[in-house]
Structure 1
């Protein structure tokens, strides 16, 4: 099963104008820096520089390091939504990374004789509207990710370990059983994935 979405930052305008109320760590932090509405918090996180964080288990890491990836950006807003009782949720998805998305991928695909590298990306969902707070950021990708092999709604606290275990489940239960990956060994995909992560990191200034 494959999922295709159209992502748009315009979806933010559909979220009700909600004044922030201090109900936890994240709302307190946004109020401290002078952001009074939920929509302002979203715009702020979107504007934060794209960059890899040192500790994804720290709920305030985006503020401490003034940068974030899809993981930390979307976790921050999903935590805020949870505190404010707004039905907005973080989702993770596995997409097909190719040369069309990240320059330099083809060399990895050729080395491991695979058609794509399965990689994880995440985004936010409000009702049926989806948006990505890394859209337009210098995130190493040439275009937005709109197509996914598998998606899953997760809690803001969804850890990297949980994410990897879910990835392995989808890898074994869906990806390796597909015609595209027929005859491919799991270890080849995992090696390619590690190279793909390093490739993406090399694209970030």
Structure 2
């Protein structure tokens, strides 16, 4: 984990956290970690994590990276990875994969890296990140990239994957399957 630091009273996101009784990074980290998984009303606005008391892998991790950046702590990196979302690392989607006869579906996932160690607080389960063994691609991104940039990278990957793996679904069908998987995770 990153070292703890007090939040600046002069930065926008930090002020919101302090107003909620979260004066340092450790308290913000623990607060964001315990929030339930859920899509925010605007996938690009990571500040909604605090306002809506929920978040996805993108909004939760982008928020923490933005807080670190506001407070001049640069040893936290925001990552966008694409991994094989399958029955083993995401058991809740097994019925969807079975229904469409897929071994896995490539999924875009955001997480943090500190000292080359992956930190994933998407779900508050304290388990080691299950997706790591099936990571297909990884890049460092900025918090502002969790919206359109992430979506376009994911869609581009899926379109190439369909051709490369000769998947018997077109892109629109595959995206619907992906949305069914995400819906399973929210239950």
Instruction: Pick the aligned partner of 2:31 from 14, 30, 44.
Output: 44
Deviations 1:173-204 (A, max 9, x none): 5x3575xx1x336725x523322322322442
Q: For 2:163 and 2:20, how far apart are their aligned partners in 1?
A: 49
1:106-145 to 2 correspondence within 5 Å? 107-108=96-97, 111=100, 113-137=101-125, 144-145=130-131
Mark the runs of 5 or more structure 2 residues left unpaired by the alignment.
none
Q: Name the TM-score, length of structure 2 as normaliser.
A: 0.83
Aligned length: 181
Deviations 1:50-95 (A, max 9, x none): 2221112334211111111111111110110110111212111111
Deviations 1:26-52 (A, max 9, x none): 111111112121121111110112222
Mark the runs of 5 or more structure 1 residues left unpaired by the alignment.
1-11, 138-142
Q: How far 1:169 sits from its partner (Å)?
A: 3.5
Q: Check whether the contact 1:91–1:122 (CA below 8 A) recurs between aligned residues.
A: yes
Residue aligned with 1:56, SS? coil
Q: How far 1:110 sits from its partner (Å)?
A: 5.3
- Asked if 1:152 corresponds to 2:155, the answer is no
Q: Check whether the contact 1:20–1:37 (CA below 8 A) recurs between aligned residues.
A: yes
Q: For 2:105 and 2:31, how far apart are their aligned partners in 1?
A: 31
Q: Check whether the contact 1:52–1:69 (CA below 8 A) recurs between aligned residues.
A: yes
Q: Name the TM-score, length of structure 1 as normaliser.
A: 0.76
Taking only aligned residues, the RMSD between alpha carbons, in angstroms, comes to 2.4
1:163 maps to which residue?
150
Deviations 1:99-158 (A, max 9, x none): 2223343544553x5431111111011231220112435xxxxx7322310011110111
Q: Say if 1:165 and 1:184 are closer, same or farther in 2 by CA, change over 3 A.
A: same
Q: Check whether the contact 2:58–2:110 (CA below 8 A) recurs between aligned residues.
A: yes
Q: How far 1:22 sits from its partner (Å)?
A: 2.6
Q: Check whether the contact 2:97–2:103 (CA below 8 A) recurs between aligned residues.
A: no
